[in-house]
Amino acid sequence: MVNFAAGELASLPPTGVLAATSEALSHATNRYTDTAGIPALRDAIAARMSVETGTLVDSDRIVVTNGAKYGLYLTVLAVVEQGDEVLVPAPYWGSLVSQVLLAGGRPVAVDTTENDFRLTRELLERHATDRTKAILVNTPNNPTGAVYPAEDLREIADWAAERDVWLVSDECYSSLVHPPARHVSLLSVAPHVQERLVTVNSFSKSFAVTGWRIGYVHAAPAVVDAMKKMQSHTTSHASSVVQHGLVSAAAGAEDAFRADVLVTLARSRSLVADRLGRIPHLRFRFPDGAFYFFVDCRDALGRSHQGRRITDADVLADMLLEHAAVAVVPGSAFGLDGFFRLSYAIDEKDILLGLDRLEGFFADVR
């Protein structure tokens, strides 16, 4: 089976990160750490963010969490109250919607299909109510690979400032952007909203450590205090060993690894785009970031494969697994039918095999 559904890099972590983590095991890293994370890691994160955003970032505004997913959940719990609405651009990462519901809020999906999968002021105006409490912005985007330009982010930030709405910026794929596109952090273009801006990021995608469960959040002091209280009473803190192992990487010691990963992904992206473009019934927007294609399969819906009707993307995904031994994620997982997500962060030989199988399957769609 070719797994195009994976949401992680195929490579091992950088050797420097593995060595630093191994070294940490031989020192006194077996004890509790500060709830917000060890000072060395928070200092390194703050210094890196300061350089990348052009805004001075205080390490006291950083909370290291058990993965960015938990960082997002703490954010939602800190910001959203019973009955509050959160504008979530669709397609979206599914866990966020569940987190809003768990906090007693109401996720409001905002379909961005007709705007290259990016929010606009017009879309915000159309979906906002007097109960709108927050907006989620995810750039680079999972599942579409869309990257927001600076002017779009300024427009969103200005709108949020006018309405006194919180901004939650999920930037977990920030290191995976293909030139000439570039990642722009909301903090860098809208420092005037930083008291109502929460930025969430992760080490998982940058350094191939998804299983280590470590991310971080930058937020205003009141939000940080709330997060620390919640983390203290739930998970205590992120893994001590992992925190120590990532200090040098957070400071930039493994930037060469990140550059090499991007080169490999760029080659895979081109390969997938070339082959997908030749498969009937499929269309796609060329992704600028992350490592996904969000493939438009609406032309295949209503057609048949070997006598079975393809009613929606969920059925299509099941049929691809059954008849082509290819796994993809249907768009319903991201709040949007008629599409499926395909990851190209797998070995090239598997990409080629999977594309051969996709081509063979869709050749039989009538």
Instruction: Write phi, then psi, for 248 (nearest 5 degrees).
Output: -65, -40
H-run or E-run covering 257: helix 255-276
Q: What is the mean pLDDT of residues 57-70?
A: 98
29 confidence band (pLDDT: 50, 70, 90): confident
User: pTM of this prediction?
Assistant: 0.95
265-297: pLDDT as tens digits: 999 999 999 999 999 999 999 999 999 999 999
121-136: pLDDT as tens digits: 999 999 999 999 999 9
pLDDT for residue 344 is more than 90: yes
Decide whether 2-10+255-363 matches 16-250 in CATH topology.
Answer: no
pLDDT for residue 258 is more than 80: yes
Distance CA 23, CA 248 (A): 12
Q: Which of 14-28, 183-197, 290-304 has the lowest mean pLDDT?
A: 14-28
Q: Are 297 and 338 in contact (CB under 8 A)?
A: yes
Count Cα atoms within 13 angstroms, Cβ side, for 289. Answer: 24
108 confidence band (pLDDT: 50, 70, 90): very high
Distance CA 296, CA 300 (A): 9
Express as a percent the part of the chain with pLDDT over 90. 95
Fold of 16-250: Aspartate Aminotransferase; domain 2 (3.40.640)
Distance CA 35, CA 23 (A): 22
Domain boundaries, the chain: 2-10+255-363, 16-250
Write down the architecture of domain 2-10+255-363 according to CATH.
Alpha-Beta Complex (3.90)
